[in-house]
Amino acid sequence: MTEASQDAGPDFAFSHCEAIVREGDPDRFWASLFAPVDKRPHLHALHAFNFEIGRVRESVHEPLVGEIRLQWWRDALQGEVRGDVRSNPVAAALEDTIVRFRLPRQPFVDLIDARIFDLYSDPMPNLNDLEGYCGETASVLIRLASVILMDGNEPGGADASGHAGVAYAVTGLLRAFPWHARRGQVYLPADILSRHGVVRDDIVTGRGGPGLQGALADLRSLARHHLAQARMLSAAMAAPARPALRGLSLVEPYLSMMERADYDPFMTPIDLPQWRRIWHLWRGRV
């Protein structure tokens, strides 16, 4: 339920989205630079919306307040907000993008619904739930980006988008593991933790142990499996839409960093210098 006091005209709204993505989601920002210039503002609108939804938990003190903010976004997408939605620059840019490219609204609502999980500290029940969460958050962004890149036409490659999103999101969750652990969130599926003899307290108290290393290795294998599937299926996506997959170029480098001998999941930052990030994206290894 973010608001802007000034009128969010088109230029300001899209520039605002670009600034949000550049600062808050640099991987997607740099990947967007490999898309045609005229499509970039709309990709920024899509990813700024995702960033706004993703940071709701850290901006509230109570889950119920977070749910109210998410409900504002649902209402905005469904035309049920009282007042001028366009006073919010992200909502204004997103609405222009949805209308211009005839994007379906339900995937945005589904993304919001999936993000309710973020507001609470409940464990991820099982692997299927994790894959579903990743599909409704990251996969849908890739799918919608591919539609934007095709000027609202069918891009093909829906299965590639699905696998790509899971690979990208699982890698992102592994990178964010220490941050999530400190605030009591556990995205590692309970069935995988149980298999390795790990309980939630081992994570949120920072105890870790060999079982945790095994569970994290399983998640890296899962990310690589979906990455391989996305690569295999990417040919089904129309060539103009494939920049939507460009961010996958960063998955393997991040996973490899987590397999170094000195990797401590609670302490080791998993990030690439900007020049290396751009280099991997330029190489474009999907």
The single-letter code of the amino acid at 236 is A
- Within 10 angstroms of residue 76's Cβ, the number of other Cβ atoms is 21
pLDDT of the residue at 131? 98
What's the CA gap between 34 and 42, in Å, rounded?
Answer: 14
**Cβ density class 48-66: b for 16+ within 10 Å, e for less:** bbbbbbeebbeebeeeeeb
Domain 7-104 of CATH type 3.40.50.720: no
Residue-wise pLDDT for 4-52, tens only, equals: 444 556 789 999 999 999 999 999 999 999 999 999 999 999 999 999 9
What is this structure's pTM?
A: 0.93
Query: Taking the mean position of all CA atoms in its chain, how far away is CA 24?
Result: 11
Report the CATH architecture of 121-286: Orthogonal Bundle (1.10)
How far apart CA 66 and CA 154 sit, in angstroms, is: 34
Q: pLDDT 10s per residue in the chain (286 long)? A: 444 444 556 789 999 999 999 999 999 999 999 999 999 999 999 999 999 999 999 888 899 999 999 999 999 998 876 667 778 999 999 999 999 999 999 999 999 999 999 999 988 999 999 999 999 999 999 999 999 999 999 999 999 999 999 999 999 999 999 999 999 999 999 999 999 999 999 999 998 888 999 999 999 999 999 999 999 999 999 999 999 999 999 999 999 999 999 999 999 989 999 999 999 999 876 6
Residue written as token pair 């490999």 = 34
Rounded distance between C-alpha atoms, residue 210 and residue 164, angstroms: 29
CA-to-CA distance for 168 and 187, rounded, in angstroms?
Answer: 14
- Per-residue burial over 235-270, b = 16 or more CB atoms within 10 Å of its CB, e = otherwise: eebeebbbbbbbbbbbbbbbbebbeeeeeebeeeeb
Measured in whole angstroms, the distance separating CA 257 from the mean position of its chain's CA atoms is 20
Q: Assess contact for 145 and 46: CB atoms under 8 A.
A: yes
Q: Torsion angle, CA of 80/82/83/89, rounded to 10 degrees?
A: -50
Please, what is the angle between helix 106-114 and helix 140-149, to 10°? 150
Strands (DSSP E) found in the chain = none
Q: Which residues contact 184 (CB under 8 A, 6 or more apart)?
A: 121, 204
* Residue range(s) occupied by CATH 1.10.600.10 in the chain: 7-104, 121-286
